[in-house]
C-alpha cells in the first residue's frame, strides 16, 4: 500500500469538500423541490445584443416532484401598440383606421410537454394567457366587437410574421419523470427589456405550481453605446454623425485624388 | 456576415449593404447624381423602416457630397456666394421638412408620404429628362434642327432683392436661389435625397447659371442641407443609424470612383437617357406598390405612447 503524497492529500480533501458541497446543494435542491413542487432556471439570464447578434437560444431546465405536465410561457416587456388598417383612397392603399392597445407583450412564446388542449382546461389557458390567441389585449377606445377582433388578430398576425409571437407551441422534453428542459428561441429583431419566463406545473388540467424567472434582453457594447447616445444625447449624436461623415467624405476625396 | 443595426433594430448582411452602397455609388459617379433617390427605396426594400432609411441616407449623403465637392472645388467650379444664399433657404427648408416628417410619422402617414413624393418627383423629373435627352440624341442625328433661345426672361426674374453673383455672371433676385434651396431642403428631410436631380435643372433653367458651375454649387449646398437634416432627424425623430450610414458610405465611396471613370466615356445625352430610364423605372415600381393590394392591410407599430 502506498502512502498518499502531499498533493494527493490536498486533492482528496478538495474532492471531499466538493462532494460535501454537492451533497448539501442536492439536499437544499431536494428541499426546495419538495416545498415548491417544481424548480426551473435558465442557462442564461442575459441576452446580449452585440454587433454580430443574429438571434439566440436560451435553455430552460428544471425538475418537478413527480409526474405532471409543464408549460413554459415567455413574455417580453409590455408596450403600447398601434394597429393601422389600410383602405383604398383614390385607388391608393392608405392608412385610414387605427386602434391603440394600451399594452401588448413585445414577445410571446409557449412551450409545453404535450399539446395544450390535452393538458389544461380552456379556462386556465385564458386565465394564464397561454398562447397568442389568449393574450389580454385591450383597446384604449371602445370598439365594435367584430372590429376589435379583426384588429386583435392583425396585431397577433403581424407579430407572428416578425417572428416575435410563436406560431406553434414549442416542445418541453422530459428526461425521466422529473427533469425537463426546453429551448427558447429569440430572433435577431428581439425587442430589448425585461422578460418574464413563467414555468407552470399542470396536473389534472389545473395549474398546481408556478415559478417566474426574469430574463434581460439588452444591447451590449458598441451597438448599445450608439443606441444610448442616439436616445439620450441626440444632439451630440447628430453632431458626431455629421462630423464622421464629413471626415469620411474628405478622406475618400483625398485618397482617390490621383486615381 | 451579419451586422446588427442599433437604430433600425435589425440584423442585416454587411456584404449586401456594402454591395448596395457600391452599386449606387457607381451609378452616382457615372451620372453625377447623389443616388439618394435610388438608395432610400432599396433600403426600404430590404426591410429598413422608411423613417430610418431617410434619416440615415441624409447622413450618408453628407459624406458623398463632401467627397464630390472636393473635385469641383479644385477646378474652381463652385459659386460660393450663390451656394450660401441657396443653403440659407436649404436649412430653412430642412427645418420645415423635418417638422412635417415628425407630424406625418405620428399620424402614421409617413410611409405613404415618402412613396408619394418619390412617385411625383421621380416621375416628373425622369419623364422630362427622358424627353429632353431623346430629343438631344435625335437632334444630333439631324443637325438642321433649330436651337432654342439662349436666355429667356420670365416673371421670376422680376422679383425683388436683386443680388450680383460675379462667379456665375448673374444679377438676379436672391429669393430665387433661396427658394430653390427651400424646396431642396424639404426634399432632403422627407425623401432622404440630396435633391440634386431637382436642383440641377432648376439652377440651369430658372437661374440660367453657367452649366459648369451647377454641379459643384449644388453639391456645395447639399453638404449643408444634408448635415442640417442629419442633425435635426437625429435630434427630433431619432432616425439616424450611424452603423448603417457607415456601411453605405464605404461602399458608396469606392463605387463612385469606378462610376466616374466609366461615366467619362459615355456621351452626355446617352448618360442622361440611361439615368432617366432608371429614375422612371423606380417611380413606376413605387407607384405600383402604392396601388397594388398590400400583403396585409393591417400594420403594427409598437412602443410609441
Domain boundaries, chain A: 40-242
Chain A CB within 8 Å of residue B237 CB: no
Q: Are A245 and B298 in contact (CB < 8 Å)?
A: no
Conformational region of residue B115, where left means phi above 0, alpha means psi within -120 to 50, and beta covers everything else:
alpha
Starting at the edge strand found earlier in the chain, the sheet holding A179-186 runs: A38-42, A56-64, A179-186, A173-175
Residues 38..67 of B with a Cβ closer than 8 Å to A: which?
59-60, 62-67
Mean pLDDT across the stretch B247-255? 87
Alpha helices in B75-146 (DSSP H): 80-107, 110-141
Average pLDDT over residues B191-197: 80
Contact A249 B67 (CB under 8 A): yes
CA nearest B46: which of B83, B77, B18, B81? B18
Hey, what's the cell of B191? 425623401
**Cβ proximity of A154 and B300 under 8 Å:** yes
pLDDT at A256: 73
Which pLDDT score, from 0 to 100, does residue A33 have?
46
Q: How many CB atoms lie within 10 A of CB B223?
A: 25
**Which residues, including other chains, have CB under 8 Å from residue B259's CB and lie 6 or more apart?**
B25, B26, B27, B28, B29, B30, B31
Q: How far apart are CA A157 and CA A202, in angstroms?
A: 28
Of B40, B59, B83, residue with least CA distance to A238: B59
Q: Rounded to whole angstroms, how far apart are CA atoms A51 and A29?
A: 38
Which value does ipTM take for this structure?
0.81
DSSP characters over B235-286: III----HHHHHHHHHHHHHHHHHHHHHHTTS-HHHHHHHHHHHHHHHHHHH
Percent of chain B with pLDDT over 70: 92
Confidence bin at A123 (pLDDT 50/70/90) = confident
Distance CA A227, CA B242 (A): 10
- Tell me which chain B residue has its CA closest to the CA of residue A259: B257
Is pTM, for the whole model, over 0.90?
no
Q: Do A83 and B298 touch (CB under 8 A)?
A: yes
Distance CA B14, CA B254 (A): 15
Provide the terminal-to-terminal Cα distance of chain B, rounded to the nearest Å: 35
Partner-chain residue, chosen from B223, B294, B301, that has the shortest CB–CB distance to A86: B294
Q: Is the pLDDT of residue B301 over 90?
A: no
Chain B interface, best mutation among A77, A86, A252, A255, by max B CB count within 10 A: A252
Q: Considering only alpha carbons, which residue of chain B is nearest residue A239?
A: B231
Q: Is the pLDDT of residue A31 over 50?
A: no
Alpha carbon of residue B99 to chain centroid: 19
pLDDT of A142 strictly over 60: yes
Q: Does B268 touch chain A (CB under 8 A)?
A: no
pLDDT for B158: 67
User: What is the C-alpha to C-alpha distance for residues A185 and B87, in angstroms, rounded to an integer?
Assistant: 50
DSSP SS3 for B25: helix
Amino acid at each position: 500500500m502506498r502512502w498518499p503524497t502531499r498533493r494527493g492529500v490536498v486533492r482528496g480533501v478538495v474532492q471531499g469538500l466538493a462532494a460535501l458541497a454537492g451533497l448539501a446543494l442536492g439536499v437544499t435542491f431536494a428541499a426546495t423541490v419538495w416545498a415548491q413542487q417544481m424548480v426551473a432556471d435558465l442557462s442564461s439570464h442575459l441576452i446580449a445584443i452585440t454587433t454580430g447578434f443574429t438571434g439566440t437560444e436560451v435553455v430552460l431546465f428544471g425538475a418537478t416532484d413527480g409526474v405532471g405536465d409543464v408549460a413554459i410561457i415567455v413574455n417580453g416587456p409590455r408596450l403600447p401598440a398601434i394597429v393601422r388598417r389600410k383602405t383604398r383612397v383614390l385607388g391608393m392603399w392608405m392608412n385610414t383606421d387605427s386602434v391603440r392597445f394600451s399594452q401588448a407583450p413585445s414577445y410571446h412564446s409557449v412551450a409545453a410537454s404535450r399539446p395544450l388542449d390535452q393538458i389544461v382546461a380552456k379556462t386556465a389557458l385564458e386565465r394564464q394567457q397561454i398562447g397568442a390567441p389568449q393574450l389580454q389585449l385591450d383597446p384604449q377606445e371602445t370598439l365594435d366587437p367584430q372590429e376589435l377582433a379583426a384588429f386583435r388578430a392583425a396585431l397577433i398576425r403581424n407579430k407572428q410574421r416578425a417572428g416575435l409571437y410563436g406560431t406553434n407551441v414549442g416542445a418541453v422534453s422530459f428526461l425521466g419523470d422529473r427533469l425537463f428542459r426546453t429551448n427558447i428561441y429569440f430572433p435577431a429583431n428581439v425587442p430589448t427589456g425585461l422578460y418574464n419566463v413563467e414555468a407552470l406545473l399542470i396536473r389534472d388540467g389545473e395549474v398546481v405550481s408556478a415559478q417566474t424567472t426574469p430574463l434581460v434582453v439588452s444591447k451590449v457594447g458598441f451597438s448599445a453605446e450608439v443606441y444610448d447616445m442616439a436616445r439620450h444625447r441626440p444632439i451630440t449624436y447628430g453632431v458626431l454623425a455629421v462630423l464622421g461623415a464629413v471626415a469620411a467624405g474628405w478622406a475618400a476625396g483625398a485618397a482617390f485624388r490621383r486615381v | 456576415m451579419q451586422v446588427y443595426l442599433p437604430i433600425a433594430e435589425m440584423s442585416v448582411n454587411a456584404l449586401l449593404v456594402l454591395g448596395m452602397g457600391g452599386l449606387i455609388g457607381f451609378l452616382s459617379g457615372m451620372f453625377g447624381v447623389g443616388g439618394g433617390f435610388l438608395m432610400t427605396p432599396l433600403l426600404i426594400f430590404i426591410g429598413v423602416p422608411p423613417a430610418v432609411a431617410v434619416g440615415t441616407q441624409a447622413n450618408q449623403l453628407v459624406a458623398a457630397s463632401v467627397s464630390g465637392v472636393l473635385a469641383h472645388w479644385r477646378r474652381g467650379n463652385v459659386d460660393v456666394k450663390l451656394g450660401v444664399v441657396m443653403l440659407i433657404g436649404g436649412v430653412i427648408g430642412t427645418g420645415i421638412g423635418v417638422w412635417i416628417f415628425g407630424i406625418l410619422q405620428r399620424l402614421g402617414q409617413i410611409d405613404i408620404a415618402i412613396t408619394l413624393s418619390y412617385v411625383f418627383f421621380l416621375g416628373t423629373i425622369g419623364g422630362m429628362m427622358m424627353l429632353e435627352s431623346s430629343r438631344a440624341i435625335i437632334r444630333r442625328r439631324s443637325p438642321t434642327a433649330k436651337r432654342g433661345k439662349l436666355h429667356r426672361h420670365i416673371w421670376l426674374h422680376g422679383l425683388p432683392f436683386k443680388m450680383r453673383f460675379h462667379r456665375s455672371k448673374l444679377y438676379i433676385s436672391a429669393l430665387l436661389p433661396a427658394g430653390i434651396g427651400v424646396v431642396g431642403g424639404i426634399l432632403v428631410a422627407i425623401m432622404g435625397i440630396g435633391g440634386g436631380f431637382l436642383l440641377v435643372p432648376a439652377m440651369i433653367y430658372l437661374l440660367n447659371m453657367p452649366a459648369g458651375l451647377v454641379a459643384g454649387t449644388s453639391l456645395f449646398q447639399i453638404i449643408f442641407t444634408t448635415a442640417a437634416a442629419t442633425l435635426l432627424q437625429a435630434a427630433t425623430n431619432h432616425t439616424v443609424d450611424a452603423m448603417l450610414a457607415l456601411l453605405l458610405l464605404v461602399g458608396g465611396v469606392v463605387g463612385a470612383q469606378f462610376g466616374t471613370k466609366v461615366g467619362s466615356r459615355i456621351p452626355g445625352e446617352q448618360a442622361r437617357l440611361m439615368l432617366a430610364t432608371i429614375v422612371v423605372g423606380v417611380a413606376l415600381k413605387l407607384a405600383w406598390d402604392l396601388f397594388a393590394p398590400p400583403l396585409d392591410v393591417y400594420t403594427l407599430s409598437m412602443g410609441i405612447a
